[in-house]
Chain A
Amino acid sequence: MSDPRFAEIESHRPYLVRYALSQLRDGQLAEEAVQEALVAALESIGSFGGKSTLRTWLTSILRFKVIDLQRRAATERHHFESSDSTGDEEGWIEELFDETGHWRVAPQAWSDPEAALDQRRFWEAFEHCLDALPPAAGRVFFKREILGENTDAICKDERITASNCWVILHRARLGLRACLEKSCFGKGAADAG
């Protein structure tokens, strides 16, 4: 009953796993991709015309499975990161405020920040400070303030609640402000460049 080609297809499994591993860097995902590819290959073996080698044909099927899994994995990572990002709320806020809720480093008065908007050095610092934010905070701030999206859209996209979103934005604004003060507006910042 068994198709002789079944054994032949199976014989390529180790190679296919190696290929999948090189693309996915995750053993379990790689096995999963290969399994799906082999099932698909058996279903459509009739369409294999022998113009390429069997291995090449199998690899082309596997490549689609790999891309599909990469997309799914990226989505899961993304959501994990988002939901994980507010877990350390107390930790970061304690760096900025003491136990009585006072600023550990007092925000200074910035001299003529408007003028900085015309300076290249300010925009370099702005980008540097955006990059320095935790990933979720940087992403949410970017969507909210730079793209001007509304909070509802961001919550939906990030799969977080509105209050989580506000916490993340609070964190981002505090972080960005502190970073800009250090690099552009604080005492001694002018000497730095």
Chain B
Amino acid sequence: MQGKVNCREASRLLSVAFERALDNGESEALQYHLGRCLMCRNFDSQLKFLRKASERFRSGGD
């Protein structure tokens, strides 16, 4: 993959990055997009939060 990605594709890459390493092209395109898109940066940090919350949930939540 090379060049630009839109928000839909960026969200897909952010999710896939939890499952496998992104290749260089994917990674560059994603970083370029994140640098210019606050919405996807929000999404990125929320995915990380989701993972943290899920781990907490497994051990009993509150």
Q: Which residues of B contact A93 (CB under 8 A)?
A: 8
B54 partner, pick from A113, A120, A146, A165, beta carbons under 8 A = A146
Give the interface SS of chain A, mostly helix, strand, loop or mixed: helix
Does any Cβ of A come within 8 Å of B18's Cβ? yes
Number of residues from B at the complex interface, CB < 8 A: 30
A91 to chain B, nearest CB (A): 14
Given the complex of chains A and B, what is the CA–CA distance between A118 and B52 in angstroms? 13
> Is A97 touching B7 in the complex (CB atoms < 8 A)?
yes
B42 partner, pick from A107, A169, A170, beta carbons under 8 A = A107
Does any Cβ of A come within 8 Å of B61's Cβ? yes
Give the interface SS of chain B, mostly helix, strand, loop or mixed: helix
Given the complex of chains A and B, what is the CA–CA distance between A169 and B54 in angstroms? 13
Q: Which residues of B contact A145 (CB under 8 A)?
A: 50-51, 54-55
> Is A106 touching B39 in the complex (CB atoms < 8 A)?
yes
Given the complex of chains A and B, what is the CA–CA distance between A118 and B53 in angstroms? 10
> Is A169 touching B15 in the complex (CB atoms < 8 A)?
yes
Minimal Cβ-Cβ distance residue in A for B11: A174
Q: Which residues of A contact B52 (CB under 8 A)?
A: 117
Check A126/B61 contact, CB under 8 A, given A107-B43, A177-B46: yes
Which residues does B use to contact A, with CB under 8 Å?
6-9, 11-12, 15-16, 18-19, 38-40, 42-43, 45-47, 49-58, 61-62
